[in-house]
Amino acid sequence: MKTYNVRGRRVVLDRDVAAALGVETRRMNEQVKRNKEKFLSDSVFQLTKEEWQNLSNFSLMPKIATSNSSKRGGVRKLPFAFTEAGVQVLKTLMKSSVDIDFSDEPPLPTIYEESWNEGTVVLYQPNENLKIDVRVENETVWLMQEQMALLFGTKRQAISKHINNIYEVGELDKNQTCSILEQVQTEGGKYVTRKISIYNLDMIISVGYRVNTKNGIAFRQ
């Protein structure tokens, strides 16, 4: 079962727990609302729209669809998140003996937000050895070539080659998948502004399928 680190807590989402327990998510959440006093204050909480959007960008989850939206297939209500203690209470409420063991789960992505120009910076940490600051803007994530090389465990030159090939064959449109980020840095005691190309999730996934490393597979899951 997928776990996430939200608000400094290791949690699972309601739909994943419901699937493991063999119950409907809606019915399970109704029990949560009726028995809120049985949970510790920090063992269950409903995600904010921003938190859900960040998780959606990382794991390609369905986008949020509000109750008055005409779109189908999205998540109509913000999901609940449960800590391990919350899951134990939930199992009692649902009269289930299914074992949901957090300790067997691999290291999980850590989510935090930090202002960066007009976007948001999110820390993607799938394991203890890999940490990448990912830019989130316009409902997608953005990475530089160096970050993609780190993510997929390869060299920047290989990433650049894949990106050029993707544009040459017309698989993706450069105007829609590439943006320019102005970054100020110190060189020789002077402040210099450098323009750096960053690429959105469509390009990241396309490159990831070509590199096809263990880290790339983990990012797409």
pTM check: above 0.85? no
Q: Taking each helix axis from N to C terminus, what angle separates 145-152 and 156-168, rounded to the nearest 10 degrees?
A: 110
Contact of 197 with 218, CB cutoff 8 Å: no
Domain boundaries, the chain: 4-104, 139-220
Tell me what percent of the residues of the chain surpass a pLDDT of 90.
24
pLDDT for position 216: 66
Q: Tens digits of per-residue pLDDT, 183-213? A: 665 666 676 777 889 999 899 989 988 887 7
Cα separation values, 216 from 27, 95, 139, 145, Å? 36, 39, 21, 14
Average pLDDT across the chain, whole number:
77
Cα separation values, 116 from 74, 120, 138, 177, 190, Å? 28, 6, 14, 20, 22
* Closest to 59 (Cα-Cα) out of 1, 146, 128: 1
- Which tokens go with 157? 């030159």
Contact of 152 with 208, CB cutoff 8 Å: yes
Q: Tens digits of per-residue pLDDT, 22-31? A: 999 999 999 9
User: What single-letter DSSP state applies at residue 37?
Assistant: G
DSSP string, 43-81: TEEEPPHHHHHHHHHHHTPPPB--TT----SSBSSPPEE
Helix (H, G, I), strand (E, B) or coil at 132: strand
pLDDT for position 152: 87
pLDDT for position 73: 46
More confident residue, 70 or 94: 94
Displacement of CA 53 from its chain's centroid (Å):
8
Which of these CATH numbers, 1.10.10, 3.30.390, 1.10.1060, 3.30.1360, describes 139-220? Answer: 1.10.10
pLDDT for position 81: 92
